[in-house]
Amino acid sequence: MSDDPSWRELNRAMWDEKVPLHVASLVYDVAGFKAGRTTLKRREIADLGDVSGKQLIHLQCHFGMDSLSWARLGAEVTGVDFSERAVRAARELAREIGIEARFVDADVYDAVAAVGHLQFDIVYTGVGALCWLPDIERWARVVHDLLRPGGELYLFEFHPVKWMIEASAPNAVEIRDGYFTPSEGYREAGGVTYADASAAGAATVQWNHPLGEVVTALARVGLRIESLRELDRDVLRQWDVMRRADDGMYCMPPERPSLPLMYVLRARQGD
């Protein structure tokens, strides 16, 4: 983990810049969302089943579209994000679509105190969240403290192998970074560009967390790992050769080797 706190301000500045761009981006399709589109993948909805009346907290929620998608399915939702601009946009979006949800401006490591030490049935962390955190053991303790007895962590994340691969190579798979991140993180990491290219050169700090690190951290705080599924598909079409799968995600064509691109981890708090 990094002892240099500048990573947080660098990353927050990038995300603050991205919020209005993402709200306007066709990738996010806010207009379609307001009309009723969900941002959740079919496997997420199938995995968690009926969430009606369940209390769900979404860590690192950005401007709230996934959070509000769960609220539309009946969950009582709290979203947490360290970008004040993202939280304001989430609250405005909730108001516009008439969905009740709570959004809190707080660093993920401060989430327990920020939500008043409440506990939840589900801690949900969506795609592309863990790479922004230097200390996974500390994150695991936050998850533990947010779950009530019998509660579940649902983690739907990019696979750490994916972070090693050069995204700009259109048809080839090129290794860019090591599997094991140095403690100070990758400071040459650029900004987020999947929805627009405005901050391709932005200064950020990111960490690749191997599966063993994530599983061990959760086990050490007392959560019971129920399942870990590695997926050969991605929510993004990272390479031109990828094809749309029957679940709406993207995978390599049959003539190409398959790659672990995402994973779903489910863990439960003891009763």
Spatial contact of 55 and 120, defined as CB atoms under 8 Å apart: yes
Give the model's pLDDT for residue 267: 98
Give the model's pLDDT for residue 195: 45
Give the model's pLDDT for residue 65: 97
d(CA 215, CA 77): 25
Total number of residues shown for the chain: 271
Q: Tokens 């994916």 sit at which residue?
A: 162
d(CA 249, CA 159): 14
Ranges of H-type helices in the chain: 6-24, 30-34, 42-48, 65-72, 84-97, 111-114, 136-146, 160-164, 211-220
d(CA 47, CA 229): 12
Spatial contact of 178 and 145, defined as CB atoms under 8 Å apart: no
**Count of alpha carbons within 13 angstroms of residue 138, beta-carbon side:** 11
Q: Place 6 in a pLDDT band, splitting at 50, 70 and 90.
A: confident
Give tens-digit pLDDT for 127-174: 999 999 999 999 999 999 999 999 999 999 999 998 888 666 556 667
> Whole-angstrom distance between the N-terminal and C-terminal Cα of the chain?
31
Locate 250 and state its tokens: 């993207």
Give tens-digit pLDDT for 79-106: 999 999 999 999 999 999 999 999 999 9
**Stronger pLDDT, 119 or 239, i.e. the higher one:** 119
The residue among 123, 149, 181 whose CA lies nearest residue 270 is 149
Give the model's pLDDT for residue 103: 98
Give the model's pLDDT for residue 60: 98
Instruction: Reply yes or no on domain 6-268 having CATH 3.20.20.140.
Output: no
Spatial contact of 250 and 243, defined as CB atoms under 8 Å apart: yes
Give tens-digit pLDDT for 51-85: 999 999 999 999 999 999 999 999 999 999 999 99
Give the model's pLDDT for residue 197: 53
- 111, pLDDT greater than 90: yes
Domain ranges of the chain: 6-268
Give tens-digit pLDDT for 177-236: 778 888 888 876 555 555 455 555 567 899 999 999 999 999 999 999 999 999 999 998
pTM value surpassing 0.85 = yes
